[in-house]
A and B are shown apart, each in its own frame.
Chain A
Amino acid sequence: MLLALCIGPMAAGIIAYCIGRRNKTVRDYFADIVTVLETVLIIYLSIRSLKGGELSFTAPYLCGLGLSLKLDGFRMIYGLVAALMWTCTVIFSREYMAHYPRTNRYYMFFLATMGATVGVFLSADLFTTFLFFEIMSFTSYTWVAHDETRESLRAAETYLAVAVIGGMVMLLGLFFLYNITGTLVIDDIYDAVSMAVKRDPLIKSRVYTVSALMLTGFAAKAGMFPLHIWLPKAHPVAPAPASALLSGILTKSGIFGVLIISTDILRYDKNWGFMILVFGVITMFGGALLGIFSINLKRTLACSSMSQIGFILVGIGMQGLLAAENGLAVRGTILHMVNHSIIKLVLFMCAGVVYMNLHELNLNKIRGYGRSKYFLMICFLAGGLSISGIPGFSGYLSKTLLHESIVEYMEVSGAMRGTYKFIEYVFLLTGGMTLAYMLKLFVAVFIESGDGSLSHVRRSPEEIYMAEDVDDGSDRYGRYLGTASRMAILIPTIMLLILGFMPYKVSDRIAALAFPFMHGQEHAGTIAYFSPANLKGSVISVALGIIIYLVVVRKLLMREEEGKRVYIDAWPKWLDIENIIYRPLLQHIIPFILAFVLRILDRMADHVISLIHRTLLREVEPRRPLLYGNAFTHVAGVAANRLSAILNRTIRRKNPKYVNYEEKLAFSFDEALKTVRLTSRSVSFGLMMFSIGCIFTLVYLIIVLLLHVK
């Protein structure tokens, strides 16, 4: 049954492609049915699993190393979140993709990725995780590349490169891990690692190396700094339903991996926790900062995803640091994961509605689009308030929990108080920045009046006429959103509100389910979410956010232009790590050096052979008596001739000189010999030699005298 959850959608993807060749409407309904079935099946299995213990599945010989899947609390939650997200987006896709070309391909990979993603979340051993993770990376490539424009192909290339490199580095980590532990079953790894470390304490450093290698793979998918490069590029170019999934759930599959490393391989490890915390803080802050600068609707949301992933990583880091008292951190982490998934689902679909109607994402151009579109406004507002952590909404709960875990650690340990105080402030500031960029989006789209030039690209009368036979489930006469799509956006919005309004009835129970997976220790007593202390943090954040919005966004990031205030595109293009570091390094520098060295090796044998061919094994001319000169002049002359030939070919290519140096040398040598012979026989030469002898004698005498005087 569990295997069917993963393989089923993949097979359905191929079937959908075949159906789509004949009839696109049937294909759309088929895709809906598949996702709904998947959701129902997961719910059914979850209930069965809650009643009668965990469900698990192992096939030891499938795929070589054996597949094994499991359905425990955490996996249940995330399987369900995944299925739900796919159900909503597939319904939304019908309207969104109605005017796109190549939808068959889209649906095929859409469903295939669903199977792979569910597979990642259900996996019970790391090999299974890796397997589905790789499939997921490759199938989701097509989403990013779907438009096939220059930007989307480049973004897709980045996405794939990050995925492939990350995947292979992770595989390297798995090689070493299996060598240390002898098992990849997630539940057994902690014991195996402890045993190995007990046997040989030196292995500890290797465990860190392994974890770092695996982290590279998972963190790349999660969007952790400095591997976040694909996030702000891939999201704006992918179709909106795909962006929602990329941001809401595929990043979480990376987080799933980070959780396995942090809670199983290196459970309660303080060093590791601190490292994750630091990366988390950088990611969180950096993402929010980029979000404030961006004026592209979907790019801002992508930066926001990066920032929220940072929050989640902070939670994971705190789990490691708090060790046995990690209850708050565990709750915060899981709740923020779930919240963020659903929030991003809502927000990206809202952005999709805008793009679908205007084909534009620039805030200056879509300004005022959402005025008087109350449905869209409410949904967007619910998402925005949640993500900004306004009390009463779901994001508030998880952010409060994360904040509390930092405060708790300061109380528990007392060490490095300054650092953690600093982290706490950054945390609150980032919360404020979240509010600021969400306000920026909300005000721009829903409150400010546009310039009246909004051109509704979709739904011109001709198009409606032409699309008559395409039943995309929407009202064709002027409404901006069809009923089915409304439902798709409404359902997650309601869930979001429920999560926020019923902290004890719903959210706490969800958090409790994840405890066994993350090895959380239950916190004593219930958490007073709305106590003054907790509200204080939120109030500080909100205040900071409003200040940032008023000062930075309204004053610094807007300017007067043709009588209107417009948003300045402050996106730091020059600060693109990808273009500054990764691409030059990976595309030019490293290949150049490697290729240079290796090409020498490659040609080595050939060159040795040709060298032997030219020297030892060349055809030798028989030795002839020299016509002129002697052996010395012959050798020197031939060498000079060769040198001259080389110079003619290189330096003196323009005006070559052709001189036979052998001949010339022989004659000048003869000449010299003759002159020497003549001179040595003359009287004046004798006289000269006598004079030189006299001078030497004189000098000698003078030196002797001088030495004697002293």
Chain B
Amino acid sequence: MDIYLLKDIPILIRTDTMGLFFLILTVFTWVMNLIFSIEYMKKERHRLRYYIFFTLTMLSMVGICISGNLITMYVFYEFMSLLSLPLVLHEQTAEAIAAGKKYIFYSMGGAFMGLVGFFFIYRYGTTLTFTPGGVINPGLIEGHETALYLVTLFVIIGFGSKAGMFPLHGWLPAAHPVAPSPASAYLSGNITKMGLFVIVRYIYYLIGPSYLKGTWVQYAFIGLTLVTIVMGSMMAYKEGLFKKRLAYSTVSQVSYALLGIAFMTKWALVGALLHVVFHSLVKNTLFEVAGAVIHKTGFKNVKDYKDLARKMPVTMWCYTLVSLTLVGVPPTSAFLSKWYLAQGALEASLPVLSWLAPVCLIISALLTAGYLLSITLKAFFPGDEYDYPCLEKKEPNLYMLIPILIMTVGAVVSGIWAGPLVNIVNNIVNGIL
């Protein structure tokens, strides 16, 4: 479907497997969060506004997934940034407004940085349509490689801001704690993935990995993701506010996937795409658990989470399982993506970075265990001075539990029966490498 916005600027809607992959994930988690919202939003004001913008955000993300060329994607990307702003602003407190400002500043700033890349492709590419393997015109690019690298770095940093990549990750820890929990779940689990998706489109469908392999841009990209991985985990480890802790965790985890993209080998890419799915399931669950806890008890800081497992056993069991998933304990799913990421990194055999990447993954996994499992321990083993008889059940109702349960089962089972999913991802990757 070709529509022309202006002369020479086409709007193209087209689906391929990569787009469909992200599309299904986006819609699935949207449904889950919608079910969760029914109960959660009962206590909030401005419900209609919330539902409208929540849906519009989802639609604009669907737009990104099904756009067939650069311009379309960019338009939908800006839509997404703007339409998700009311979700951050929802509570209309001074804090929320400050966070909203920060969010839109980082998003817009990042997108404008990335726009440079789009002009570059318009000048040096053969077409604007996404083509596996890249569209760079080899004749024109001759002698302009440095420009290509610089521009690519700009795109990576610019759109990396949406994916929470260092140095432009600052909006995540600000925006997540103030948004309503299902919205922060969606922000963290899916909107960040759109930044990643744009980078995938840019590197694999416009520039082509063959131009970037082994260049300093690749090293810089890997270096940035490694810094982000360790930094996010460490900040999460030091953070007391539960939702802020999860936000930092997202900073770290999305960079796992970015790391896979940066290495540009087959297994690294498989690992990256698998991690997109697994992290999305896990992080949505974690934010929903945080939401359920806030909804039922009002606790926001992890120091109050003692004995929580007695009050909300099902919720905390789900929490524990997805935490183990995120740490990467087999047979849960995220172990698998880490395995492929590490193998992909080693397969690339770059100096230093190839072995540094698995080391960083392991350090981050240890920190992840530190900041997630410590809550489990506190919740399940409150200590012997704890007074058992006077506890009251505070399990949330089914509207909240069902999405949590479905996604937990999804995260765990997709690790045990990973065959089909790995096959799908393998096919996608084989199509572009």
A interface residues (Cβ-Cβ under 8 A, vs B):
61-65, 127, 130-131, 134-135, 138, 145, 147-150, 153, 156-157, 160, 164-165, 167-169, 171-172, 175-176, 178-179, 591, 594-595, 598-599, 601-606, 609
Interface residue? B168 (CB, 8 A): yes
Which residues of chain B in 357-391 are interfacial with respect to chain A, using CB atoms and an 8 Å cutoff? 358-359, 362, 365-366, 369, 373, 377, 381-384, 386
| Contacting pair A134 B418 (CB below 8 A) | no
Q: Which of the residues B168, B355, B386 comes within 8 Å of A605, measured between beta carbons?
A: B168
| Contacting pair B415 A63 (CB below 8 A) | yes
Q: Which of the residues A147, A153, A179 comes within 8 Å of B347, measured between beta carbons?
A: A179
| Contacting pair B417 A62 (CB below 8 A) | yes
25 examples of A-B residue contacts, CB within 8 angstroms: A61-B417, A61-B419, A64-B331, A64-B335, A64-B422, A134-B330, A148-B386, A149-B384, A153-B381, A153-B383, A160-B373, A160-B377, A168-B362, A168-B365, A168-B366, A172-B359, A175-B342, A179-B346, A179-B347, A591-B234, A598-B234, A598-B235, A605-B167, A605-B168, A606-B170
Cα A436 to Cα B328 with chains together (Å): 45
Nearest-neighbour CB distance to chain A for B234, whole angstroms, equals 5
The residue in A130, A147, A169, A606 that gathers the most chain B C-beta atoms within 10 A of its C-beta is A606
11 more contacts with CB within 8 A, not counting A63-B331, A148-B381, are A61-B418, A61-B419, A62-B416, A63-B330, A64-B333, A64-B336, A153-B381, A164-B366, A172-B362, A602-B169, A604-B167
Cα A604 to Cα B169 with chains together (Å): 10
Cα A558 to Cα B386 with chains together (Å): 39
CB-CB under 8 A for A598 and B362, given A175-B342, A591-B237: no
9 smallest A-B Cβ distances: which pairs? A61-B419, A64-B336, A63-B331, A179-B346, A64-B418, A175-B342, A131-B330, A598-B231, A605-B167
Interface residue? B339 (CB, 8 A): yes
Q: Give the residue name and chain of the B residue nearest to A132 (CB).
A: B330
| Contacting pair A63 B418 (CB below 8 A) | yes
Nearest-neighbour CB distance to chain B for A75, whole angstroms, equals 20
Nearest-neighbour CB distance to chain A for B103, whole angstroms, equals 13
CB contacts (< 8 Å) of A62 on chain B: these are 416-417
Q: Give the residue name and chain of the B residue nearest to A149 (CB).
A: B384
| Contacting pair B381 A156 (CB below 8 A) | yes
Cα A591 to Cα B367 with chains together (Å): 10
Cα A131 to Cα B415 with chains together (Å): 12
Query: Could you tell me how many residues of chain B have their Cβ less than 8 Å away from some Cβ of chain A?
Result: 47
CB-CB under 8 A for A175 and B238, given A165-B366, A168-B362, A598-B231: no
Interface residues of A, dominant DSSP: helix
Interface residue? B166 (CB, 8 A): yes
Cα A309 to Cα B417 with chains together (Å): 38
The residue in A62, A127, A164, A168 that gathers the most chain B C-beta atoms within 10 A of its C-beta is A168
CB-CB under 8 A for A601 and B227, given A62-B416, A168-B365: yes
Interface residue? B230 (CB, 8 A): yes
Nearest-neighbour CB distance to chain A for B94, whole angstroms, equals 18
Interface string of B291-326 (1 = CB under 8 A from A): 000000000000000000000000000000000100
Nearest-neighbour CB distance to chain B for A127, whole angstroms, equals 8
Which residues of chain B in 408-426 are interfacial with respect to chain A, using CB atoms and an 8 Å cutoff? 415-419, 422
The residue in A63, A178, A591, A604 that gathers the most chain B C-beta atoms within 10 A of its C-beta is A63
Q: Give the residue name and chain of the B residue nearest to A150 (CB).
A: B383
Q: Give the residue name and chain of the B residue nearest to A175 (CB).
A: B342
CB-CB under 8 A for A138 and B329, given A147-B384, A601-B166: yes
| Contacting pair A164 B369 (CB below 8 A) | yes
Interface residue? B55 (CB, 8 A): no
Nearest-neighbour CB distance to chain A for B406, whole angstroms, equals 19
Interface residue? B127 (CB, 8 A): no
Interface residue? B343 (CB, 8 A): yes
Which residues of chain B in 141-196 are interfacial with respect to chain A, using CB atoms and an 8 Å cutoff? 166-170
Q: Which of the residues B362, B369, B384 comes within 8 Å of A148, measured between beta carbons?
A: B384
The residue in A134, A171, A604 that gathers the most chain B C-beta atoms within 10 A of its C-beta is A171
| Contacting pair B231 A602 (CB below 8 A) | yes
Nearest-neighbour CB distance to chain A for B320, whole angstroms, equals 10
Interface string of B213-239 (1 = CB under 8 A from A): 000000000000001001100110110
CB contacts (< 8 Å) of B231 on chain A: these are 598, 601-602
CB-CB under 8 A for A176 and B362, given A134-B329, A148-B383, A164-B369: no
Cα A165 to Cα B238 with chains together (Å): 18
Nearest-neighbour CB distance to chain B for A208, whole angstroms, equals 14
| Contacting pair B235 A64 (CB below 8 A) | no
Q: Give the residue name and chain of the A residue nearest to B340 (CB).
A: A64
CB contacts (< 8 Å) of A179 on chain B: these are 343, 346-347
CB contacts (< 8 Å) of B373 on chain A: these are 160, 164
Cα A156 to Cα B383 with chains together (Å): 12
CB contacts (< 8 Å) of A63 on chain B: these are 330-331, 415-416, 418
Nearest-neighbour CB distance to chain A for B407, whole angstroms, equals 19
| Contacting pair B235 A602 (CB below 8 A) | yes
Cα A681 to Cα B415 with chains together (Å): 96
Nearest-neighbour CB distance to chain A for B324, whole angstroms, equals 7
CB contacts (< 8 Å) of A138 on chain B: these are 324, 329
CB contacts (< 8 Å) of B377 on chain A: these are 145, 153, 157, 160
CB contacts (< 8 Å) of B359 on chain A: these are 172
Cα A478 to Cα B335 with chains together (Å): 53
CB contacts (< 8 Å) of A591 on chain B: these are 234, 237-238
Nearest-neighbour CB distance to chain A for B233, whole angstroms, equals 9
The residue in A153, A176, A179, A603 that gathers the most chain B C-beta atoms within 10 A of its C-beta is A179
Cα A61 to Cα B420 with chains together (Å): 9
CB contacts (< 8 Å) of B331 on chain A: these are 63-64, 131
Q: Give the residue name and chain of the B residue nearest to A65 (CB).
A: B339
Q: Give the residue name and chain of the A residue nearest to B331 (CB).
A: A63
Interface string of B126-145 (1 = CB under 8 A from A): 00000000000000000000
Cα A302 to Cα B388 with chains together (Å): 32
Cα A484 to Cα B365 with chains together (Å): 45
Cα A34 to Cα B173 with chains together (Å): 49
Cα A134 to Cα B330 with chains together (Å): 7
Q: Give the residue name and chain of the B residue nearest to A604 (CB).
A: B167
Nearest-neighbour CB distance to chain B for A37, whole angstroms, equals 24
Cα A221 to Cα B432 with chains together (Å): 44
Q: Which of the residues A61, A64, A145, A176 comes within 8 Å of B339, measured between beta carbons?
A: A64
| Contacting pair A595 B234 (CB below 8 A) | yes
Nearest-neighbour CB distance to chain B for A65, whole angstroms, equals 7
| Contacting pair A594 B230 (CB below 8 A) | yes
CB-CB under 8 A for A594 and B324, given A64-B335, A164-B366: no
Cα A550 to Cα B85 with chains together (Å): 80
Cα A271 to Cα B168 with chains together (Å): 49
Nearest-neighbour CB distance to chain A for B141, whole angstroms, equals 31
CB contacts (< 8 Å) of B329 on chain A: these are 134-135, 138, 167
Nearest-neighbour CB distance to chain A for B202, whole angstroms, equals 21
Nearest-neighbour CB distance to chain A for B290, whole angstroms, equals 21
Q: Give the residue name and chain of the B residue nearest to A164 (CB).
A: B369
Q: Give the residue name and chain of the A residue nearest to B336 (CB).
A: A64
Q: Which of the residues B227, B328, B346, B369 comes within 8 Å of A176, measured between beta carbons?
A: B346
Q: Give the residue name and chain of the A residue nearest to B231 (CB).
A: A598
Q: Give the residue name and chain of the B residue nearest to A102 (CB).
A: B388
Q: Which of the residues B324, B330, B415 comes within 8 Å of A130, measured between beta carbons?
A: B330
CB contacts (< 8 Å) of A131 on chain B: these are 330-331
The residue in A63, A64, A168, A591 that gathers the most chain B C-beta atoms within 10 A of its C-beta is A64
| Contacting pair B339 A175 (CB below 8 A) | yes
Nearest-neighbour CB distance to chain A for B250, whole angstroms, equals 14
Cα A149 to Cα B381 with chains together (Å): 9
| Contacting pair A175 B235 (CB below 8 A) | no
CB contacts (< 8 Å) of B167 on chain A: these are 601, 604-605
Nearest-neighbour CB distance to chain A for B169, whole angstroms, equals 8
Nearest-neighbour CB distance to chain A for B358, whole angstroms, equals 5
Cα A176 to Cα B333 with chains together (Å): 20
Nearest-neighbour CB distance to chain A for B319, whole angstroms, equals 15
| Contacting pair A176 B168 (CB below 8 A) | no
Cα A167 to Cα B324 with chains together (Å): 13
Nearest-neighbour CB distance to chain B for A141, whole angstroms, equals 9
